[in-house]
Amino acid sequence: MFLVTGATGNVGRHVVERLVARGEKVRALVRDPRRAVLPVGVEVVEGDLSRPETLDAALDCVTGVFLFAVPGSGPAFVEAAQRAGVERVVLLSSNGVDDTAAEQANPIAAYHAEIEQALRGGKPAWTFLRSAHMATNALPWAGQIRAGDVVRAPYAGATSAPIHEADLAEVAVVALTEDGHAGQVYPLSGPASLTAAEQVTLIGEALGRPLVFEELTPEVAREQMSRFMPPFILNTLFEQWEQSVGNPAPVYDTVERLTGRPARAFAQWAADRVADFS
């Protein structure tokens, strides 16, 4: 049996669906089972990685785990996984983690690195999926796009190689169900480096109407975003955006190598998520 954490999230739900499609037994760890809409046959259990007392029951009879990183959860999860006899863990990590750094560059990379370190020191075989920018990071523009044809945001020239959440899930399922991935660290990205303005244009093409990216100054954008975003995330994002301008984002062929199929383009992601922007 496989346990999927973050099972109702953008990536986790795809992992669940693909495991079920393969005929695997799947258990989903969720905070509120009443709100979980998952495929028929999936065993839903209430729990949370930040509540270690819920892990023993969730991991009972589980051989493999898809682990969505939760800050500070590594040591307790590893202990519970060892007690349960879990054989392999696939962690959705961040490509911001630097194995050569004595201290990670930002808090997001730091908490992913802490969980990686806990897994490295434990018994279950591990695989780290170090994801680049997720295509779902474009979803915060949805409100503006539903309201009009202009996206107002900072750093129109900020670059990333957005990866479709379905591609992350397919790689995770390969690592969970096939041999040869233990101890591997896989960098993952979409197939092309795009600026934020180019992503907005592609969303407009999927919707069938032109969209315009109107660049805000960093100062104005920071003030607006600080109303709903924690400072440590805000500071990390602004630093990454500023540093990326004029520098194409790294592109990796990992999705194609592991799944045998090219990574989905951002245009495909936009077409798949039209309902979110309509």
- pLDDT of the residue at 122: 83
Burial 39-67 (b: 16+ CB within 10 A, else e): eeebebbebbbeeeebbeebbeebbbbbb
Question: What is the Rg, in whole angstroms, of the alpha carbon atoms belonging to the chain?
Answer: 19
Its pTM stands at: 0.95
CATH of domain 2-131: 3.40.50.720
Question: Residues in the chain with pLDDT < 70?
Answer: none
Tell me: the pLDDT tens digits for 203-238? 999 999 999 999 999 999 999 999 988 998 899 999
Q: What tens digit of pLDDT does each residue of 189-204 get?
A: 999 999 999 999 999 9
- Count, residues in the chain: 278
Q: What is the pLDDT of residue 232?
A: 87
**pLDDT computed for residue 209 by the predictor:** 97
Q: How far apart are CA 40 and CA 37, in angstroms?
A: 9
Q: Residue 5: its pLDDT value, please?
A: 97
- Report phi then psi at 62, rounded to 5: -90, 135
State the residue for tokens 């062929």: 253
Taken in order 48, 52, 54, 60, the sign of the CA dihedral is positive
